[in-house]
Amino acid sequence: MISSASDRQVLLTWLRDREREMVDLLDRLARMESPSLDPASQNPVFALLAAELVELGFLVRRLPREASGQAPASGHGMGDHLYARPAVRVRGAPSQLLVGHMDTVWPVGTLSVMPLRQEGNVFSGPGTYDMKAGLVQMLFAFRALRAHEISLKVLPLVFINSDEEIGSHDSDRWLRLLSRCSSRAFILEPSYGAGGALKTGRKGVGHFTVTVQGTAAHAGIDPERGASAVLELSHQIQRLFDLNDRERGITVNVGMIDGGLRPNMVAPKATAEIDVRVPTMVDAQQVEAEIRGLMPIIEGTTIVVGGGFNRPPMEETAQNMALWGDAKRLAGELGLELDRAIVGGGSDGNRTSQYVPTLDGLGGVGDGAHAAHEHVITSYMPERAALLVALLTLP
């Protein structure tokens, strides 16, 4: 049992002595390219994680995706999800949830143009920061607990999904189920910024489609008989951009537009795809009402709005901030500096936070998520694993 700051220092030293092992395991995981829309590519990652967890005394289940579940717009398949719990458990004991994902944004073959490399304590490559380093830190946290014969009073449940980078559409049902039966959730997503801040807040993420129906006509002979969907959409796009409010942290971006059939034809249809980020549920409701309330300006056109918020905001609730307070205190006992941040990107923490106190950003420290310079600082990996151990031992 960990009962003092000196006990935590012993664990930190043990983990620091295994930094090379952590990097080697990260190297193995990162070499297994595992994009979201290629389920077969994820099987080696699943097998490696499952074998590690079984060795650590966990029972592992493969949770198949729902055949009728929402598929990505591309129509490609999605992979299965991994669930694990200790093989030996006390019935009725409280549980805590650890969440990660095995999928990445990088297609198979990226390693040929963006190879893994290490320079000093910087380990670079696709999927290292987002978020395979977090998975490695979790495994070594469990290794440290086993090596020091530390039993947890709160049962750790592990959930690693395969569709986080495309919105967690299928795994959302498992996240809701597991969150409801847990007392807290730790999200192994990468930390924020050079100092590795934990994430105590995330903006909610919405995706909307605005479709304008107009009336076709010959653009040269009788354009007055038509009603241009493209022109109407241009008016609505300006209205949408007017919803941006930097002071409130609201962003509305029309990122894609499509419309018309031919240059010599008054456009009968036009569409826009919109990304929306909001810091609170109140903001989400207000912005969604504004978008759904768009009214046409040009006679003869109609507007249909589809989509919505697929990830609610992760707000800095009292429960979330209490968990942050524990992390800050424990980091101090480990001799580590720790800060917090609110970020614009979404994660599975957005969902768990609706049901249970959640702390996000417990994964790797580095930079370059979804970018060519993706990397982790390897010297932070033992420290973050030690922090996770300390959090797992909370009553």
Q: What residue ranges do the domains of the chain occupy?
A: 5-203+313-392, 204-311
Tokens, residue 391 = 């959090």
Q: What is the pLDDT of residues 151-181, one digit of tens each?
A: 999 999 999 999 999 999 999 999 999 999 9
Confidence class of residue 111 from pLDDT cuts 50, 70 and 90? very high
Using the predicted structure, report yes or no on whether residue 139 has a pLDDT greater than 80: yes
Per-chain mean pLDDT for the chain: 95
Per-residue pLDDT, averaged over 243-248, amounts to 97
Q: In whole angstroms, how far apart are CA 378 and each of 123, 192, 253, 338?
A: 7, 15, 36, 17
Residue 72, classed as helix, strand or coil, is coil
- CATH number of the 204-311 domain: 3.30.70.360
- Mention every residue, 6+ apart, whose C-beta is less than 8 A from residue 133: 26, 190, 363, 364, 366, 376, 381
Using the predicted structure, report yes or no on whether residue 133 has a pLDDT greater than 90: yes
Q: In whole angstroms, how far apart are CA 284 and each of 289, 305, 318, 351?
A: 8, 15, 20, 15
Q: What is the pLDDT of residues 298-320, one digit of tens each?
A: 999 999 999 999 999 999 999 99
Render the burial of 232-269: b for 16+ CB within 10 Å, e for the rest: bbbebbeebeeeeeeeebbbbebeeeebbeeeebbbbb
Confidence class of residue 79 from pLDDT cuts 50, 70 and 90? confident
Q: What is the pLDDT of residues 12-30, one digit of tens each?
A: 999 999 999 999 999 999 9
Per-residue model confidence (pLDDT) at position 77: 53
**Residue type at 300?**
G
Strands (E), the chain: 58-63, 81-86, 95-101, 117-119, 122-124, 155-161, 185-187, 198-202, 204-213, 217-218, 251-259, 265-266, 269-278, 302-311, 340-343, 358-359, 366-367, 375-377
Q: Which CATH architecture has domain 5-203+313-392?
A: 3-Layer(aba) Sandwich (3.40)
Per-residue model confidence (pLDDT) at position 66: 81
Using the predicted structure, report yes or no on whether residue 245 has a pLDDT greater than 60: yes
Per-residue model confidence (pLDDT) at position 381: 98
Per-residue model confidence (pLDDT) at position 69: 44
Per-residue model confidence (pLDDT) at position 3: 64
Using the predicted structure, report yes or no on whether residue 71 has a pLDDT greater than 50: no
- How many other C-beta atoms lie within 10 A of the C-beta of residue 109? 10
Q: In whole angstroms, how far apart are CA 212 and each of 164, 227, 237, 243, 270?
A: 31, 10, 11, 19, 5
Using the predicted structure, report yes or no on whether residue 73 has a pLDDT greater than 70: no
Q: What is the pLDDT of residues 193-216, one digit of tens each?
A: 999 999 999 999 999 999 999 999
Using the predicted structure, report yes or no on whether residue 189 has a pLDDT greater than 50: yes
How far is it, in rounded angstroms, from Cα 185 to Cα 386? 17
Contact 265, 216 (CB under 8 A): yes
Vertex 113: Cα angle to 112 and 116 (nearest 5): 75
Per-residue model confidence (pLDDT) at position 107: 97
